[in-house]
Amino acid sequence: GADVDAGTNVVTGADMATGTNTATGESTTHSPDFAKIRLDFPVLAREVNGRPLVYLDSAASSQMPAQVAERIDHYHRYEHANVHRGIHTLSQEATDAFEQTRDRVQHFLGAANRSEIIFTSGTTDSINLVAHSYGGSTLRPGDEILLTQMEHHANIVPWQMIAERTGAKILVADVDEHGNLDLDDLRTKLSNRTKIVALVHVSNALGTVNPVQTIIRMAREQGAIVLLDGAQSAPHQPVNVQELDCDFYAFSAHKVCGPTGFGILYGKKELLEAMPPYRGGGEMISRVSFEGTTYEEPPFRFEAGTPPIAAAIGLGAAIEYLQSIGMEQIALRERELLEEATKKLAAVDGLRIIGNPAERSAVLPFVMDGIHASDIGTLLDKQGIAVRTGHHCAQPIHDRYGLDATARASFAFYNSSEDIDRLVEGLEFVKTFF
């Protein structure tokens, strides 16, 4: 393990299993010992309703390894002080630990500059920042914002609000019956009126991994900028914003084994530099007077007020943890779990998996004949199995398929084959009630 800060050592099951190269933070080629890694997650050892917990709701929020919880606890016990403005040692230490997360995120996303990493309260906040600051300052009546039918409400509603304010128009690219984006439809809806394309990298409702590189190229040709909602991609695959060439990329700490209330907006330097502040207050100014105020440069221009310091430090520890396993290894492991789960769920009589996209992340939405999704969720919970049910904050895509709700099993690298078997067994039990 590498030192996080102040002598807190983060040693993961992955470190022990693989001989992780802590200098680079990337794992070596040996396959990590995922059975050992699972032991890093104390919650996975508990019982729920008298049965060992099976946690299949990581798309809503991932679980936190002990290393991250301990790092946050250590900060609260021994290192807490406000950041950036303190001359005393404790404040400087807190600032160093806090700002170290910016470096870690820069490395995690492959960003060119640390000033391109903005701390926000989560994906939702990141998208609102772009909509209000970038959209609010650049959109004119008749300009177009292109979204897709599979967006999370967080990537719909902020655009509706800004469209109403600016007179811009929202267009929506279709999704086909398999859950793939209809690229022909998207192409016809892209024009030189399109100023912003905002789309989900990986769908939380379907698991679809969108061909974002192709879409970004198509958008560029029309002179549009592209925002990627990375809430479901950052946790599950390597992401490099320079290779993708996206303009903005947003994700949430609580889906990458970190704490709630914190997230990231990556933005290209030249765009951020031209954007007005989103919220005003302390920390984001250069000079304040009643005659007029000047603003800080990015990232601080967008970070008014005392930030969630412990959460930022927690995200830093979470990224260090994930990198000690390796994002490639995580993606491979989750692909195995997805294949196994798809095969075993498809064999359950009366169960239908929704969508069959060309590329899928470890998210499996399904419905069952004659059984409402919420009953599936309730009866699985009675057996200690946690899945999500409902519209998953993506009502338009459910409308597209004529569904009011699905049950959704979502997997992370800490899940196991036993979890999948328990799910199948649980579903057979659910059927006995109907």
The DSSP element (H or E) to which 118 belongs, if any, is: strand 117-120
Residues numbered 54-113 forming contacts with ligand PMP, rule: CB under 6 A = 60
Picking from 212, 217, 216, the residue whose alpha carbon sits closest to that of residue 201 is 212
CB atoms within 10 A of CB 291: 5
Q: Which stretch binds ligand PMP (CB under 6 A): 104-112, 118-126, 273-281, 424-432?
A: 118-126
Q: Cα–Cα distance between 143 and 184 in angstroms, integer?
A: 21
| Catalytic residue (one of 39, 157, 393, 424) | 393
Integer CA distances (angstroms), 166 to 50, 131, 147, 386, 407, in order: 54, 11, 17, 42, 38
CB of 410 to ligand PMP, least distance (A): 10
Integer CA distances (angstroms), 411 to 42, 239, 338, 342, in order: 17, 19, 7, 12
Nearer to ligand PMP, 189 or 236 (CB): 236
Nearer to ligand PMP, 212 or 430 (CB): 212
Instruction: Verify whether residue 257 is a known catalytic residue.
Output: no
Q: Which residues are CB-contacts of 87 (< 8 A; sequence separation ≥ 6)?
A: none
Q: Cα–Cα distance between 405 and 390 in angstroms, integer?
A: 4
How many separate helices (H) and strands (E) can be counted in the chain? 16, 19
Nearer to ligand PMP, 14 or 162 (CB): 162
Residue 301 sits in the site that holds ligand PMP (CB under 6 A): no
Q: Which stretch binds ligand PMP (CB under 6 A): 84-92, 107-115, 227-235, 238-246?
A: 227-235
Residue 252 sits in the site that holds ligand PMP (CB under 6 A): yes
Nearer to ligand PMP, 37 or 231 (CB): 231
CA 252 to chain CA mean position, Å = 5
CB of 248 to ligand PMP, least distance (A): 13
Burial classification of residue 344, based on how many CB atoms lie within 10 Å of its CB (0-12 exposed, 13-18 middle, 19 or more buried): middle
Strands 263-267 and 285-287: unpaired
Q: Which residues are CB-contacts of 77 (< 8 A; sequence separation ≥ 6)?
A: none
Question: How is residue 51 written in tokens?
Answer: 């049965």
Picking from 212, 192, 185, 186, the residue whose alpha carbon sits closest to that of residue 144 is 192
Tell me, what DSSP letter sits at residue 153? G
Nearer to ligand PMP, 32 or 122 (CB): 122
Residue 208 sits in the site that holds ligand PMP (CB under 6 A): no
Q: Which of 64, 139, 175, 200 binds ligand PMP (CB under 6 A)?
A: 200
Residue 20 sits in the site that holds ligand PMP (CB under 6 A): no
Q: Which stretch binds ligand PMP (CB under 6 A): 128-136, 151-159, 307-315, 418-426?
A: 151-159
Question: How is residue 65 written in tokens?
Answer: 């390894």
CB of 287 to ligand PMP, least distance (A): 33
CB of 92 to ligand PMP, least distance (A): 30
Q: Which stretch binds ligand PMP (CB under 6 A): 24-32, 229-237, 299-307, 339-347?
A: 229-237
Q: Which of 106, 124, 237, 329 binds ligand PMP (CB under 6 A)?
A: 124
Q: Which of 71, 74, 152, 333 binds ligand PMP (CB under 6 A)?
A: 152
Residues numbered 370-429 forming contacts with ligand PMP, rule: CB under 6 A = 393
Nearer to ligand PMP, 129 or 168 (CB): 129
Nearer to ligand PMP, 32 or 158 (CB): 158
Where do contacts with ligand PMP occur on this chain (CB under 6 A)? 60, 122-124, 152, 154-155, 200, 204, 229, 231-232, 252, 393
Which residues are catalytic, by number? 393
